[in-house]
Structure 1
Amino acid sequence: MSDAATPSTGSRAVFCLCAAEVLTMVGVFSFPALLPDFIAQWGLSNTEAGWISGVVFAGYTVAVPVLTTLTDRMDAKRVYLFGALVAAVAALGFTLTAEGFWSALAWRALSGVGLAGTYMPGLKALVDRTSGPRQPRWISFYTASFSLGTSGSFLVTGWVAEALGGWRVAFGLAAAAAALALVLVALALPGVRPIPPERKTNPFDFGPVLKNRAAMGYVLGYAVHVWELFGARSWMVAFLAWVLAAQPGAWGPSPTSIATMAALVAMAASIIGADWAVRFDRRRVCAAAMLGSAAMAAGIGFSGGLPYGVVAGLMLLYSALIQIDSAALTTGAVLAADPARRGATIAVHSLLGFGAGFVGPLAFGMVLDAMGGANSGSAWGLAFASLGAVVALGPLALRLR
């Protein structure tokens, strides 16, 4: 911890990093927000759409072990600025040159590198600038802001694409938002001097992290959580669009609007779940949330025959159940980590979590194709049920202590 970690500095850092996180995330879910349009325009299969949706998290997975572990040796602010720059370049490149599967895949993978340089390095920057009993609450605010950024991504992308001239304008705005985050962090986030380790160690030696059973329980739990979370978020708009198209005359908010509301509901659920984790047993709170969302996933995909408004309401409830354990899992991993290897622990946490986040949307699309395609109610049901089968393994991981 630096001598800059005072209460006033902590509050300023939390506000700055939460705002920057929302800005850098405008482009993260822009592709899933417009997924039906891209499938139609580019003639994508569901599996190809799953690849493009998930490759963001593949890029993240490749980059995060390096970028987050570096925060144990340098101020995380420097890593964050690099990540924000990459995010801006990736969104701008998509805007100017994306024209089909391969070009979209490349730019979305680079977008994942930008996310790797901002999300968890931002958490490390916050931890380095805060201390005391309020720190767990501040961590939950930051991790919950991921859902606020998700809602902003769906809302801004959907509205801009519809009102201002299509998806290229939307992605251009995402590039501008990431550039604004870079300026905000550069100017408003105070710098800190990382504490040098007591003895020289290899910062990329993850062995001690993997041997920390308490931390790894939360890390593995987070992995199955993110598999479900990104699988559901990546396909939510497409599922709701299918339900709406199958019900001529049905009325209700657009699928993109529902996805925006779902992310806001998820943010509130994450903060509430983090508070429950402080007041009650953290592992039991997380396990109960996982079993609840698994049960919901087993049935929600089969609900397509219900009225559109009912399906939309169920999707909001499902989003809340998915997110209850999100901040609680990340906070648990941070608190269980060796302070000298906190950056490395966060790196492993993100590596496994967002690696699962890459596989989740892809596996969903593969199940959808294999079981009959996007016009089959049973295929949607089985695809969502596959998410529930994975997250149901979470309580087993949380038994590690």
Structure 2
Amino acid sequence: MTAGPAAGTRPRNRKQLIVEAAGQVFSERGYHAASMEEIAAGVGISAAALYRHFPNKYALFAECANVMADRLVGALGEAPPDAPLPDVLAAITRVTVAHRASGGLYRWEARYLDRADRRQLRTKFEHVVARLTEMVRREYPMPDERLRAVAALGAIGSITMHHTSIAQRRVEDLLLASAMGVAATDPAATAGSANSVELPAQPVPRTRRAEILAAAVPLFARDGFANVTNAQIAQAVGLAPSAIYRHYPGKLDILVAACLQAAGLLAQAVDRSLHRAADPRGAVIALTAAYVAYSFEHNALNSVAEAEIRGLPADLQRPLILAQREHIAVWEQQLRGARPDLDARQARLLVHAGFGVVVEAGRALRWQDTPGHRDAVTALVIGALTL
């Protein structure tokens, strides 16, 4: 731990230090689980001193949510109008990698912003996307240039969502190559891949416990776990709120059940996809098509598992994190078989880049589940892996 400033002195950039520390805490623990006391301790100040800069946790959170968007807008603003796409993506990558600890806040936690602040944040990102879309259209004149621009940003932004450690310059090079691979990919390159995927069906809720879980997941996905009450879940199932406790000890147990169900369905999808693969490259393509199909078909369940796992107590997180690592290890092994030039960490970073493409491209398509959308996102992920 680094020593703070000498007693009685106040660094001129204290507000910036607070925002950086808060962004990391919010990113790692989620908005509701984070506390002002924890953030203050990370800066080496008292909670009272923190409140002199920000009146409440929401004000600090709103500031943090805008920081990465402002940095991206700034990076674009410094680029001349005729700047080559690789140069602009490289600038965006440098900014994102430099602030990876706090930069992912917008992906899952921005839903806790109020409507006006969400609109402001969306406007900033739309500016970035519009500028990149023009460049992608100019350098790679193919259909779906906006989708390719969004997906390229998803590949770069993926670095904020995991802790794989690689030298910064190598990270930047890999992410830039991944983003360029996305931008240069024809979304129709894997047409028909969606037809070959056999996903496990989500269990039909045949018990009251299963009905509660099925009702809770879309509420968690829409409003965030912390904002959903047991009364809302009970109403969705047609129960009295007190009846929930006969099936789950608490709301947290419903969330854990949702995360475990997501992990189980994904593991089954992976197993089925690999049975048909003849070689490592075919295995990577099959994994990609299955993961994309899973993300579209089980979007609410998957988004809950991705967004809320960081807010779980450590003992409840452990089995879910192990399941995530096992899933990534399968990808890593197959990708290294298809690309022997990669070491384990480099392969892992590119796998996460592919996942980032799915999240951002899926959102851009409003998760409308059609064969064409699945095929397009599958092609973009393969582009991100630079196969």
TM-score range, shorter chain: 0.3 to 0.5
TM-score, normalising length: structure 1: 0.32
| Bigger fraction of residues in helix | 1
Greater radius of gyration (CA): 2
